[in-house]
Amino acid sequence: MSLLLRNGWIVTQNPRREILRGDILVEDGKIAGIGGVKGGADEEIDCSDCAILPGLINVHGHVANTLLRGRADDVPLEKMLEVTFAADGKLTRRDVQVGALLGCLEMLKSGTTSFVDLFYWEDEVARAVREAGIRGFLAWAVLDPDKTTQRGVPVKNAEQFVEKTKGHRLVSPMVGLQGVYACSEETYLAAKDVADREDVGLHTHLSETRTEVYEHEKGTGLRPVEWLDKIGFLGPRLSAAHCVWVTMNEVRTLAARGVSVAHCPVSNMKLASGGVAPVPEMLDAGLAVGLGTDSPISNNGLDMFSDMKVCALLHKANRWEAATMPAQKVLDLATIDAAKVLGREREIGSIEVGKRADLAVADLRHPHATPFYPANLSSHLVYACRGSDIRATIVDGVKRVGEGHLVGVDEAEVLARAREIAGELFG
């Protein structure tokens, strides 16, 4: 099966950040040619007046929480978690699968082709990922056994999930941890042991709020990053979400251990986490940083375009410096740098021959995107474009969105099922 994307503006995100005019040939799930492609293909997509960009990569979220969208607005994290945990007790496996599928469809329609998820019942999320045809990096959440609604021992559940799911084309299992407020030293080390043995990634919430940091310091005498370093948990396998309340010393520690960071500006702003993650300093220290939406309960969407814009604006407003977090860097955080966070930069995150064909096509013919200039298309994507501009999304060489519509999934049915479940839960 071959696919030809004809005559677009290609935002390659290659090492030279080139923007090219031309075609992209996709064969056997990979990018086989870029530029003037002669000959045809099994299917062609006309990309005139469109930008073709690498599929966006959302490095932190809880996709099944689409079902909780709008249930905890204008409250801080602690109150939001109360709502989340109360709902977790009621959700069935079928609910989680429908919620996850709804989120996958939302992401595909807004140009996201890969996402990281932290949740229990990741086997249900994996089912949704396969049905939608998106790329999922799924971290089964491990907590202390007395702090969870999971049946059985969470770390064992995570291990079984990893063993069952490893090797799938679109699903990469990981081991997740809720955070230092729900995981003891023993839990952290048991999770790390599984990840080391299975050779998979680790994902955790870290230093999201001031309360989390102060409480942990009160109990252990150490800040969360210092404590995780002391117990020997930090390492290149780990991507940590948030890292809002970290000192420069902690940034240097994260860099020295090769930890990467999932920056979630919209969620942090909505929950009033208070500080602003020191992303410019993290980048200066050499940390890999990617962009994440976090949960639809604290965002409330999964549209990476809107989060790219907020990311750029937040750091400029915070530093009184318009040159901070330029659009090109923010686009990097949602593409090639996010691929580095996942250790997959050789396969995804940019448009280069030989890489997996994860692509998004943004229509530039809308009033809000007019006029556009090819030379600064990167900043146009960050500041002017929207997720709803996506006309086509390709994952692993397969068209999942075409002419703005989902392919191979009954969107109306998924939406109806999600509304029905929300009605049962909260009606």
Taking the least distance from each CB to Zn ion, the nearer of 294 and 332 is 294
- Gap between the Cα atoms of 140 and 422, Å rounded: 24
Residue whose Cβ sits closest to Zn ion: 294
- Gap between the Cα atoms of 20 and 52, Å rounded: 10
Taking the least distance from each CB to Zn ion, the nearer of 12 and 84 is 84
Give least dist CB 265 to Zn ion, A: 13
Give least dist CB 103 to Zn ion, A: 13
Q: Looking only at residues 91 through 130 of this chain, which bind Zn ion when binding is defined by CB under 5 A?
A: none
Give least dist CB 181 to Zn ion, A: 13
Taking the least distance from each CB to Zn ion, the nearer of 205 and 355 is 205
User: Which residue's structure tokens are 């799924």?
Assistant: 138
Half-sphere exposure of 425 (CA within 13 A, CB side): 26
Give least dist CB 68 to Zn ion, A: 12
Question: 264: closest CA among 211, 209, 214, 213?
Answer: 209
Burial of 197 (0-12, 13-18, 19+ CB in 10 A): exposed
Taking the least distance from each CB to Zn ion, the nearer of 212 and 294 is 294
Strand partners, 54: 359
Give least dist CB 157 to Zn ion, A: 19
Taking residue 145's Cβ as centre, other Cβ atoms within 10 Å add up to 14
Q: Is 390 helix (H, G, I), strand (E, B) or coil?
A: strand
177 neighbors 142 (Cβ within 8 angstroms): yes
- Gap between the Cα atoms of 271 and 331, Å rounded: 24
- The H-assigned helical ranges of 166-257 are 185-198, 210-220, 224-230, 248-257
Q: Is 105 helix (H, G, I), strand (E, B) or coil?
A: helix
Taking the least distance from each CB to Zn ion, the nearer of 126 and 271 is 271
Give least dist CB 77 to Zn ion, A: 9
Give least dist CB 240 to Zn ion, A: 11
Taking the least distance from each CB to Zn ion, the nearer of 50 and 241 is 241
Taking the least distance from each CB to Zn ion, the nearer of 294 and 396 is 294
Give the total of residues touching Zn ion (CB under 5 A).
Answer: 1
Q: Looking only at residues 271 through 330 of this chain, which bind Zn ion when binding is defined by CB under 5 A?
A: 294
Q: Is 51 helix (H, G, I), strand (E, B) or coil?
A: strand
Half-sphere exposure of 87 (CA within 13 A, CB side): 25
Taking residue 121's Cβ as centre, other Cβ atoms within 10 Å add up to 22
Taking the least distance from each CB to Zn ion, the nearer of 122 and 294 is 294
Give least dist CB 368 to Zn ion, A: 30
Output the six-digit token pair for 3.
């696919």
Q: Which residues bind Zn ion (CB under 5 A)?
A: 294
